[in-house]
Chain A
């Protein structure tokens, strides 16, 4: 619905990626208003009042995160987390492809609120063209005086550095992002100290997601109270949901929080393809627990989905039809975590390897049912014991699928091949 198109409002406008078109449509007005109507402190309060929650997966209230910075410690740093690598997630790429200046403006507004003079955009290495686009836009913004010294006479100075990664999912974790940005291997760090106290280069640091920052120009111009009025009590505003899988119209859709998931599936995504029925879906990317058709009536609300045993996470919805083998899906996800495990802690490094080994044999029908018990025990030994959430989330989907599709997992044991699709290790296509 039109009033719920905030972030995607101008998508598709020719030349939106250029400064001229962006400004013609009102771009960088939010930045000017931030200077004119807010001090850094009142701006932080406004964002707190908006109820904006992080859009990267954890959903932590943004204003509260900003409030953790110690008052008198400088310099501070702001990092935009554009390392989007969660399976099923592509909204940040969409935001950058379609409206890069919206992100840059949001970044600068956040920098002003946090009194940050050097802001980074850490973008995953695979988003190669997106990085070049952002760099070009940063230079455009700089030339127009939105970036630099004493911006628009505000007394506030800020530089923006676009920094490309080189292929590591773990760098999306905030302390690993900081580790990578400092020039190390990109592995998570001990907390405490928390980044807000001691982050990049040992200084107070805030890491915010692309979508989170992209909301800021709108919150500044229309007010935190307005933003809070959209969505639900605990999940304010709109969110982008990336929909993929066995649906008619895969893509990114901006939805007001609180909308039933069914509406997203049937109206925006055009429902399940090929007249097939939904077997299961992931509501929040590869890390989150599987949900079933009965959960379609849940609202797109962080707490509602959490109570149902999963999470909206990074807003990546993957829908699977009745021909899908849940063991095969679990296997692929386990392989993903095994491949992306940074190797720092023993339970994740070895546990994902163990999981992967088991899941491949299970998928091929070469496991015993005793080994299924082993799988559950391995996951129990990993969950909550790893250095960072990657190792924990490596167990969530497979354990939830095991619980929800117990017979299917059991049927694989000793079957000699996948009983769902008898034979090939491929997930079904046509």
Chain B
């Protein structure tokens, strides 16, 4: 069950728009802010309040890059590797982060502090390339040292997605008070959300980080099965 404050926020969002369905995106943010990712229950409740089928809500949620379908780390690091950032050393930053955090792009660190990924989705910080976002805040003109300092500082800061300080998720109603923020419960533990684990269908064996459809295990990319520019094993000239 979503917390009372979140339900209130979702209802207010619904009433803000000319048609309730338009509130889907900010309502999903409200769920992610409280629960750390889009839980099945959260999506079901959003559907109920917006008078939609849960399938419609999930269909929308999985289309967008920024929602987590599975639990994520406390902080989310997104490093741009599109052209402008790459021209100014983004790949070095990515390699550095990969070594420091000891997990590949799309993964979560062992201590649960960080989920990070490189992205081709231009973040709109090309003038300050190379750039990244941490918990949706821009950090530009990166150097490996600057990145280290930031990650070290954040390691001891609680996550922004759930807990006090999570920012409101949608347009403010013109006359109502700002809806109260999410509760300080933190993201649910992984095992509590391992709903899909029992339903895993054996994926065909591949050597790549191939997505295998929606029924993947909890160690998968929290964004769901879609992965970022995939690193294909480079076939040698002999293979061709």
Contact = CB atoms under 8 A, between A and B. Distances in A.
Find the residue from A186, A244, A328 having the highest chain B CB count within 10 A: A244
A425 B91 contact: yes
B137 interface: yes
A87 B66 contact: no
Interface string A355-380: 01100110011101000000000000
B236 A416 contact: yes
Interface stretch (A18-26, A30-38, A177-185): A177-185
Contacts of B102: none
A263 interface: no
A332 interface: yes
Contacts of A426: 86, 91-92, 95
Chain A: interface size category:
35 or more
Contacts, number: 203
B172 interface: yes
B16 A166 contact: no
Given A183-B23, A318-B84, A416-B236, A85 B172 contact: no
Interface string A328-350: 11001101100110100000000
A125 B64 contact: yes
A366 B240 contact: yes
Nearest to A282: B83
Nearest to B94: A426
A430 B144 CA distance: 13
Contact of A166 (B28, B120, B171): B28
B237 A416 contact: yes
Given A183-B23, A250-B126, A366-B240, A336 B28 contact: no
Residue of A167, A187, A251, A332 contacting most chain B CB atoms (<10 Å):
A332
A45 interface: no
A283 to B, nearest CB: 13
A86 B171 CA distance: 25
Interface string B58-88: 0110011111000000000010011110111
Contact residues on B (Cβ < 8 Å of other chain), bracket: 35 or more
Contacts of B237: 365-366, 414, 416
A429 B167 contact: no
Contacts of A92: 124
Contact of B126 (A159, A169, A244): A244
Contacts of A286: 82-83, 122
Interface string A122-143: 0011111100100100110010
Given A87-B82, A166-B28, A185-B59, A242 B127 contact: yes
Contact of A90 (B16, B28, B125, B228): B125
Given A167-B64, A245-B84, A245-B87, 20 more contacts: A87-B84, A93-B124, A94-B127, A128-B167, A129-B138, A162-B171, A163-B22, A164-B169, A166-B28, A166-B65, A183-B52, A250-B84, A316-B126, A318-B126, A324-B87, A335-B229, A336-B120, A361-B232, A426-B91, A427-B83
Interface of A: 84-90, 92-94, 118, 124-129, 132, 135, 138-139, 142, 148, 159, 161-169, 180-187, 201, 242-246, 250-252, 282, 286, 316, 318, 320, 324, 328-329, 332-333, 335-336, 339-340, 342, 356-357, 360-361, 364-366, 368, 414, 416, 424-427, 429-430
13 contacts: A126-B124, A126-B136, A165-B25, A183-B24, A185-B60, A201-B19, A244-B84, A244-B126, A245-B83, A246-B87, A286-B83, A416-B236, A426-B86
